[in-house]
Structure 1
Amino acid sequence: MRTLQQFLSDYGDSHRNPLNQWIHIICVPAILISTLGLFWLIPVGAWLPLSDSVAFWVNGATILGVLSGLIYLRLGWWVFLLMAGWFALSLWIILAVLGAGWSLLWLSLGVWVAAWIVQVYGHKVEGKKPSFVDDLVFLLIGPIFVSIEFVAKLGVPVPLALSNRNDHTPARGH
């Protein structure tokens, strides 16, 4: 498996345009949260012999969170903690939507489709295809990349930020 630096470098190769970066800073979290919202609707716990209170928490989103958490942990503790924060925020939003009585399906689906349309436009502006076309793992790298780039745009020195990299060549070793 590539290192985090290699993933970020490769991801950054198709995310150099400032407009595309801002589009991703907004749309990647929207896609992450809405994807988890859609996966939440897969009631795996209801299909298992679990109590209702436990079954509520065993669904596609929580299973996806645990599985992707293993990949994030492999990339580093701080990556795992960063993404655990994104997961917690996503769960808070999902539970707020459910608590408000809104349709998690239609809200998540609408946000998911709209955010992908805007991202496709961002890649049209960039002139490069999305990274995940070549490797689906980049779907998991996007939230890390935009978190780092957003913090860097706020003026915080972040060693892994694209703006701090002098080499604009693809990562080696893959």
Structure 2
Amino acid sequence: MKPSEKSQAKHSDSINHLMTEYHKSHINRTNQLIHYVCVPLIFWSISALLWLVKIPVVINLALVVMTLLMLYYLLKSVKVFACMLVFSALCLGINFWLEAQALPLLWIAVVVFVLAWIGQFIGHHIEGKKPSFLQDLQFLLIGPAWVVFKFFKIKL
């Protein structure tokens, strides 16, 4: 790989570039509002489903996956890591609370997951653009960070 190609590859993987590219598929205000609701719900529902997979020693799969996810965010940006750590801790706290209430976490998570994805596809239909993750699976990880930063008007 030539030096200019290395620089371009590094730039295309930067958090600023990824957030900008993600934003290009989320210009429509209605789609953004749908994403503000649906992306956190999808993130939470996945964490809830992983929470239910118990692993000896580490408690559950959600803690393992969240740890790896936090490492990904830390490698991208300390600011993104800090924001997503707070959001992820909130999701895990909700899982802990729901499980302690003896509520059917599996069914709640599945219903929320399905309904939130329906909302996502409605939003993209309104936007007239395909979901970003069809371009690059990495956008499945960028989406939650983009929503947190956009909703709370946090600058990178």
Match of 2:78 in 1: 77
Match of 2:40 in 1: 29
Q: CA deviation at 1:75?
A: 0.9
* Residue ranges of structure 1 left out of the alignment (5+ in a row): 153-157, 161-174
Match of 1:164 in 2: none
Give the aligned CA root-mean-square deviation in angstroms.
1.2
- The structure with the greater share of residues assigned to helix is 2
Deviation by residue 1:133-159 (Cα, 9 ceiling, x = unmatched)? 12111111011111111123xxxxx44
Moved over 2 A (4+): none
Find the aligned partners of 1:137 and 1:106 in 2 and give their Cα distance. 27
What TM-score, normalized by structure 2, do the two folds share?
0.89
Match of 2:19 in 1: 8
Whichever residue aligns with residue 25 of structure 2, its letter is S
Deviation by residue 1:51-71 (Cα, 9 ceiling, x = unmatched)? xxxx4x3x2211110111111
Find the aligned partners of 1:43 and 1:137 in 2 and give their Cα distance. 26
Match of 1:100 in 2: 101
Match of 2:50 in 1: 39
Corresponding pairs, count: 145
- 1:15-164 equivalent positions in 2, closer than 5 A: 15-45=26-56, 50=57, 55=58, 57=59, 59-152=60-153, 158-160=154-156
Question: Using a 3 Å threshold, how does the CA distance of structure 1 residues 159 and 90 change in structure 2: closer, same or farther?
Answer: closer
Q: CA deviation at 1:77?
A: 1.1
